[in-house]
Homo-oligomer: A and B are copies of this chain.
Amino acid sequence: MEKYMNDLREKKVDGEAKYRGRIINVRLDEVELPSGNRSFREVVEHPGAVALLGETVDGELVLIRQFRYPTGETLIEIPAGKLENGESPEDCVRREMMEETGYKIGDLELLSGIYSTPGFCDEVIYIFRGYNLEYIKEPAGEDENGDEENLHTLLLTREEAMRMIKSGEIYDAKTVIALLWP
């Protein structure tokens, strides 16, 4: 099996940083293909993220509406956030949930670490399920860096959320995965 997997590997020959941003970096690598030929690979580097499908003590699911600038649309998503330097996914998801919704998570279960779009990006999203969420306080309206967060909490039953996937009202990848996870 290992040999079978390895024969597809592409080896880095050279690389050039193309953009260094606040959230992402972009580099262009020259690679050697299994055939020995060479090609180029564009890579978006991302620090990784967490996301949570949380259920309140009353059995409702805590989602958010958030304007997503790259898409030009307001999407319905599960709360999520980027990993800060050195932070564990568990700590990150508890912090983000409090910042974005004001809910404290009781029990926490990691469902999977998922590549969002591995063809050009290394982002892994750790998707959790959280139970016994308790509403503690109004969300701060800003993140850990003092940036405004413009979002609204949306409480849904599981049936409503599943219907909104099938009707096309929920179409964010991590949210669909968390809701459909067995």
* Interface residues of A, Cβ cutoff 8 Å to B: 4-6, 8-10, 18-19, 21-24, 26, 28-29, 31, 33-35, 37, 39-44, 46, 49, 65-71, 73-75, 77, 80, 82, 112-123, 125, 147-148, 150-152, 162, 165-166, 168, 171-174, 176-177, 180-182
When A24-B44, A120-B24, A180-B182 are in contact, do A171 and B70 touch as well, CB less than 8 Å? Answer: no
Task: Report B-chain residues with C-beta under 8 Å of the C-beta of A26.
Answer: 18-19, 21, 24, 26, 44
Q: B182 near A120 (CB under 8 angstroms)?
A: no
Q: A70 near B177 (CB under 8 angstroms)?
A: no
When A67-B8, A116-B173, A171-B115 are in contact, do A181 and B182 touch as well, CB less than 8 Å? Answer: no
Q: B28 near A21 (CB under 8 angstroms)?
A: yes
Q: Which of B8, B33, B112, B121 contacts A70 (CB 8 A)?
A: B121
